[in-house]
Structure 1
Amino acid sequence: MILCHVTLQETADPVEGQVTGTLPPWLEGRVTRNGPGKLHVGGTPYRHLFDALAMLHQFHIANSRVTYRSRFLKSDSFKKNMNANRIVVTEFGTAAYPDPCMTLFKRFKNTFTVPTTKKMTDNCLVSVCQVKDEMFALTETCYTRRVDPENLETLGDKIMLTKYVAVNMATAHPHIEEDGTVYNMGSSFSAVKGPCYNVIKMSEGSLEKAKVVASISCQWRLYPSYYHSFAMTECYWVLVEQPLVMSACKLVKGAFANQPPFDALKWLPDKKVKFRVIERATGNLVQTLYTADAFVIFHHVNAWESQGHLVLDLCATDDGEVVKMLCISNLEKNPGDSSRILFRSYLRRYVLPMTGVSKATPGENLAKLEGIACKAMKQEDGSVHCTYQSLYSEFFDMPRINYKMNGKPYRYAYGVSTKGNDLVFEMLIKVDVMTGQTWKFESENFVVAEPIFVEAPDATDEDQGVILSTLLRKRDPRYVALLVLSARDMSEIARAEFEANDVVTSTFHGQFVAAHENSHTY
């Protein structure tokens, strides 16, 4: 993880890279990535990596040439902090410092303002989404920001999702269909219904056309589950309601006492995961209760239906302390420090039987797909308890697939892995989820980022295309490269190397937008 504690400068004007190898002639478009940038404002530090002021990075590929640029997201949070020269907007893990420009009365009034969505940050540092001709920077609050897809300038005012649809926050991992329809899931903290999870549909990717198409209640009324993504198949949406929860009482108390949402997180290891399955055709919750032993998930890989079963592939960890792993104090610890919290994420499969549950006898295994070792045991109370099949025995996260296979039976998953200290992504991995065969890419002294699959024109095989990632050199903070690998065997095809104006920071997620496409997915 590349951390920056100095004044971080943009590379606003594009710089051309030195290309080695041969870029495929059909590979033209933009790779835009989002992630944490500035970790300090003035003399005040951020506590968590999810808090750092967002920085956008872009590689533009055309005529076998590649340029690079980076810009800060000019959010209201960014501008307020920079104007005050200190952190004056509360983020996920960092409480705001008092604004020196405020009078004593204003500080008192601000501290004891009733908590509303207006106090949420618009520092959208998790991902980006371009569907038609508009690009948005995404995070997990009720805000999004529009970005110029050509030069990364921040456009207009922040957009409050609650003005369009009944959610107080939404994920940064929407699903996009080929016609441009966007689906996302968000939480609504209604005083009447209690916490709910709402599925949002945006026709043609338009916020003006957004509507809630399904709504289910939280299983723990005072402890809504934290979730980072969800799954979608042809017939279902699936939310993994995990026992990593937000204490509603602490959220309210924290808003009054200037405490960040991080302090409201609570891990309930004695509680079970519940797979909440929603019918897309009706918006109704499938009444069978599917459970699993406690785990934490950030990223789904894929999900699909087969012979009366729903198959879920995801990245999971059994350690509920995982969010603490990204505290800056933890990231800065020596790799040999025994108190260092490590991130152990694994590629797993769960199978949910969708038919025959009511007629089955308690103790019967209802997971009957050939070649799959998962179990789904009928319980005395009518629920189904699911146990996983491991698809890869070592660290695996930041998953991507050929997105044309999203919601369908697929074969190949791509992700990142580590070589020991579990906090630095040093390898890119391809896993054949049918056979278990793996392919790896690593380059000594470099850090990799989430892989992005780009399909070749007229492809006939699922893995016919390239993988795009970035390389940061551990001992050269201004170095950045766009890496192009063969998606078949993870061999290097080309890389474009750049020297930026300042330190290049790590990113979370990104999107490739092809030059001649009208609608864009992941």
Structure 2
Amino acid sequence: MNKPIETDVTGEVPNWINGSLYRNGAGLYKVGPTAWNHFFDGFAVLQRWTISDSEVTFQTSVLDSEDYKKCAKHRRLVGQGVGSSFPDPCETIFGRLFNSFLPSSAPASDNTNVNLMEFGDRLFALTESPAINEINPDSLTVKEKSMIKDYVAVHLGTAHPHKLKDGSIIFYGTNMNYKQAYNFIAIPPQSDPSKSPFADAKIIAAAPSRWKMSISYTHSFGMTQNYFVHFEQPLAVNLPRAVLLKPLRLKRGDVLVPFEGESLDIMLVSRSTGERLPITYKAPEGVVFHFINCYEESNFVICDACFYPKGAKAVQRLYFDLILEDAKARIDFNFKYARFVLPQSLDGAEEGKNLVTLPDTTAKAFLEKDSENVVCVSPEYFGDNLIADLPSINYDYNGVKHRYAYTTTNICSTQRVLAKFDVVEKSTKTYEVNENYLPGEPVFVARPGATEEDDGVVLSTIVAANSTVQSYLVVLDAKTFQEVARANLPLEQKMRENERKEEDENSNGKEDKKKKGKRRRRRKIEKEEGKDSVYDREKEEQGEEKIGYLISNLNTSNRTLDFLIVNPRLYRLRQHIGSFFSNPSNTFTINITVILGRRQDHQHHDNNIDIIKPPPPSSSSSSSSPSSS
């Protein structure tokens, strides 16, 4: 943990602001010689801005998740991210062999690097996996990890739940069964402190996927007084690839499949009955990561969201080699403030007639030709060419009609702007920074006793894009959108940097020396015993060499299982595989061929899989028991 540091405040922070602003996001991308290659994959870095008596302190820490601690222990990245996949140096040859012919999905990551949720008097860090970390609000460390899938049948979660006025949380989870793919979950306030805060979670509504082998990628969802709003977008999790994610060592991004040219389908699900409204609303191809707000008016549901037209490949554009290209070559992440207007009833609907009868909107909805329950919708856009993402509103207006919304641009954008949208006047106000800065997510804080929607301030972290300028927290008057104060960090302090990495490495120095000594003694003993010593185990544990590279071929016609094992640790192979296949319940004939040598001596294939056909049974292979050649 880093201790809080004082900031240099310029201007005047309103004296009614007292409390802590917590922020979460991917911020650490490199461990040892290895680095993540995708924006989504960085380890969570938590920030805490504490405001009291117009003074501001800053505190930051890399979240000590199990994923991070494992990588810190090995001084290299381990596991599968969206843009990279790194092998686990602790996985045995037997483990890899077993995984190669018994597919299973990769374990859920607990790198909760997307958002923070206040639930009761407790703070939780979230991502899109089912893992939820409770955070110590003072030390910014993990208090306890929970898995939402232990309480409800979901495989993925959301980082953007909704909070009700009674303290309940409405959560979302994806199930890989396409018939109950999209699930809305109610989590009541905790009544028994001895139980998990998620113990009473219950699925209250669900809807199926339109694809049998894919489930829509869902980052957030909308909610009105009577409906859940789900966008089934043409960017989906492919189920067969998800099953093979771990055994084939795929990147998590390989599981996401863009369906270019397909529509974004909007569905409304009743909050009271859990049933889907029998109307499908088809929007143009595009993706939505963040909803702004949804509400009902005059028998219509209005959905405001940050919409990326033709953005089915949005996730693929967040690789660092694309982000770091110069501004001319870079493609802006073209998210727009979009409004969809959905009729709740089709009574009296006629083909070719715009079903949207609300005044002051250019959004359209038409009954699809030769259809009774499919409506084609097109949005109204606000803000001209202004890129809008990471939105927020005055949360008292969540689910009801709002007038104002606040957005920022994103890391891929050439724009550097915070914006205030007035959807009644259809106007915008902006706070711009130069190319040396990246504006963060805006957060609206209402003035105590306020009666107007925009009576308060907007807080945002402005991150330095290089070492020549200072990062700072800006305080904007929400009405005028003018800066009233800022809290400047010291020039050497980075929001996305943590000294703990270096401290951990130094503190582990003695332990590492002991491990190296044990490895040297173990190699000496093995050499004296005549055991295989073709491996440099120190290199292997550092990930510089891969062991037990395995290809398997299951032939169900003659019930044989052929293995080709490249560069194994032979004594461990005999110990583990021999005992496993001696099980009399195994009715397959086992043919195993072992080849010594380094991996690079063999053929190579994409996804880091060697493709070498197993040789037919011969004198170099034995039946029913493993042997080496």
Q: Would the TM-score normalized by the shorter structure come out above 0.5?
A: yes
- What letter matches 1:369 in structure 2? L
Which has the larger helix fraction? 2
Q: Which residue of 2 aligns with 1:151?
A: 139
Match of 1:198 among 183, 192, 195: 183
Q: Which SS does the other structure have where 1:390 is aligned?
A: strand
Q: Which residue of 2 aligns with 1:371?
A: 360
Q: Which SS does the other structure have where 2:253 is aligned?
A: helix
> Comparing 72-81 with 491-500, which one deviates more in the overlay?
491-500
Q: Which residue of 1 aligns with 2:501?
A: none
Q: Which residue of 1 aligns with 2:78?
A: 88
* Distance 1:41-1:478 versus aligned 2 partners, 3 A rule: farther
- What letter matches 1:404 in structure 2? D
Does the alignment pair 1:128 with 2:99?
no
Q: 1:159-200: per-residue Cα shift (whole Å, max 9, x none)?
A: 11111111111110000012211102110123xx64510001
Match of 1:481 among 472, 475, 480: 472
Give the CA RMSD over aligned residues. 1.9
Q: Which SS does the other structure have where 2:86 is aligned?
A: coil
CA–CA distance in structure 2, aligned partners of residues 377 and 23 of structure 1: 50
Q: 1:455-506: per-residue Cα shift (whole Å, max 9, x none)?
A: 0111111000000001122332783311110001110111111227653229
CA–CA distance in structure 2, aligned partners of residues 218 and 20 of structure 1: 52
CA contact (8 A) 2:207 2:276 kept: yes
Shift of 1:107: 4.2
Q: Which residue of 1 aligns with 2:40?
A: 50
Match of 1:285 among 273, 276, 279: 276
Q: 1:218-265: per-residue Cα shift (whole Å, max 9, x none)?
A: 111111100111000101100010111111122222222010220121
Shift of 1:111: 5.7
Q: Which residue of 2 aligns with 1:519?
A: none
Q: Which residue of 1 aligns with 2:312?
A: 320
Which has the higher relative contact order, 1 or 2, with Cα contacts under 8 A spaced 6 or more apart? 1
Shift of 1:275: 0.8
CA–CA distance in structure 2, aligned partners of residues 370 and 401 of structure 1: 23
- What letter matches 1:372 in structure 2? T
Q: Which SS does the other structure have where 2:204 is aligned?
A: strand
Alignment of 1:40-439 (within 5 A): 40-99=30-89, 101-109=90-98, 114-116=103-105, 119-156=107-144, 158-190=145-177, 194=179, 196-204=181-189, 206-318=197-309, 319-337=311-329, 340-355=330-345, 357-379=346-368, 380-382=370-372, 383-393=374-384, 394-417=386-409, 422-423=412-413, 426-439=416-429
CA contact (8 A) 2:105 2:242 kept: no
CA–CA distance in structure 1, aligned partners of residues 354 and 28 of structure 2: 51
Shift of 1:116: 4.1
* Distance 1:195-1:234 versus aligned 2 partners, 3 A rule: closer
CA–CA distance in structure 2, aligned partners of residues 499 and 114 of structure 1: 50
* Distance 1:424-1:468 versus aligned 2 partners, 3 A rule: farther
CA contact (8 A) 2:136 2:143 kept: yes
- What letter matches 1:409 in structure 2? K
- What letter matches 1:481 in structure 2? Y
* Distance 1:113-1:342 versus aligned 2 partners, 3 A rule: farther
Q: Which SS does the other structure have where 1:124 is aligned?
A: coil
Q: Find the structure with the greater CA-based Rg.
A: 2
Q: Which SS does the other structure have where 2:241 is aligned?
A: helix
CA–CA distance in structure 1, aligned partners of residues 491 and 270 of structure 2: 48
CA–CA distance in structure 2, aligned partners of residues 451 and 410 of structure 1: 17
Shift of 1:104: 3.2
CA–CA distance in structure 2, aligned partners of residues 37 and 108 of structure 1: 35
- What letter matches 2:470 in structure 1? Y
Q: 1:410-447: per-residue Cα shift (whole Å, max 9, x none)?
A: 111110137xx953562110010111111111233322
CA–CA distance in structure 2, aligned partners of residues 417 and 46 of structure 1: 23
- What letter matches 2:328 in structure 1? G
CA–CA distance in structure 1, aligned partners of residues 202 and 492 of structure 2: 43
Q: Which SS does the other structure have where 1:150 is aligned?
A: coil
Q: Percent identical across equivalent pairs? A: 32
TM-score (norm 1): 0.89
CA–CA distance in structure 2, aligned partners of residues 293 and 440 of structure 1: 28
Q: Which residue of 2 aligns with 1:446?
A: 437
Shift of 1:324: 1.7
> Comparing 437-446 with 226-235, which one deviates more in the overlay?
437-446
Shift of 1:396: 1.0
* Distance 1:366-1:57 versus aligned 2 partners, 3 A rule: same
Q: Which residue of 2 aligns with 1:497?
A: 488
CA contact (8 A) 1:425 1:448 kept: no
Which has the larger strand fraction? 1
* Distance 1:425-1:111 versus aligned 2 partners, 3 A rule: farther
> Comparing 230-239 with 369-378, which one deviates more in the overlay?
369-378
CA–CA distance in structure 2, aligned partners of residues 143 and 103 of structure 1: 26
Q: 1:395-419: per-residue Cα shift (whole Å, max 9, x none)?
A: 111111111111111111110137x
CA–CA distance in structure 1, aligned partners of residues 140 and 438 of structure 2: 24
- What letter matches 1:66 in structure 2? V
Shift of 1:203: 0.7
Q: Which SS does the other structure have where 2:207 is aligned?
A: strand
CA–CA distance in structure 2, aligned partners of residues 225 and 63 of structure 1: 47
Q: 1:262-294: per-residue Cα shift (whole Å, max 9, x none)?
A: 012111122211111001111110011211111
